[in-house]
Amino acid sequence: MSQEPSNDTQLLLGRVLAPSGFINQGALLIEDGKLVFVGAEDELPGVYAGLPASQVTLTGGTLIPGFIDIHVHGGSGYDFMDAAPHVLDAITSFHCSQGTTAMLATTVTAPRDRLSEVLDHVHAYMQKEMPYAALEGVHLEGPFISPLWSGAQNPAHIAAPTTSWLESWEQQYPGLIRQLTLAPEREGALEVIAWLKQHQIIAALGHTNAAYEEVERAVEAGLHHAVHTFNAMTPLHHRQPGAVGAVLGDSRISAEIIADGIHVHPAAIQILAKIKQENNLVLITDAISAAGLEDGPYTLGDLPVLVHDGVARLEDGKTLAGSTLTMIRGFRYLVQTVGLSIEEASHAASGTPARLLGIDHRTGSLEAGKQADLLLLDEQLELQGVWVKGIQKLK
Q: Which residues are catalytic?
A: 286
User: How far is C-alpha 12 from the geometric centre of its chain's CA atoms?
Assistant: 26
Specify which residues 284 forms β-bridges with. Answer: 258
d(CA 209, CA 386): 40
d(CA 362, CA 373): 9
Radius of gyration of the chain (CA): 21
Amino acid occupying residue 392:
Q
Are 227 and 181 contacting, i.e. CB atoms less than 8 angstroms apart? yes
d(CA 323, CA 311): 7
Are 315 and 302 contacting, i.e. CB atoms less than 8 angstroms apart? no
State the sign of the Cα–Cα–Cα–Cα dihedral 48, 49, 55, 61.
positive
Mapped onto helix, strand or coil, the DSSP state of residue 126 is helix
| CA-closest candidate to residue 285, choices 337, 326, 233 | 326
Are 317 and 307 contacting, i.e. CB atoms less than 8 angstroms apart? no
| Helix-strand-coil split of the chain, %, nearest 5 | 30, 30, 40
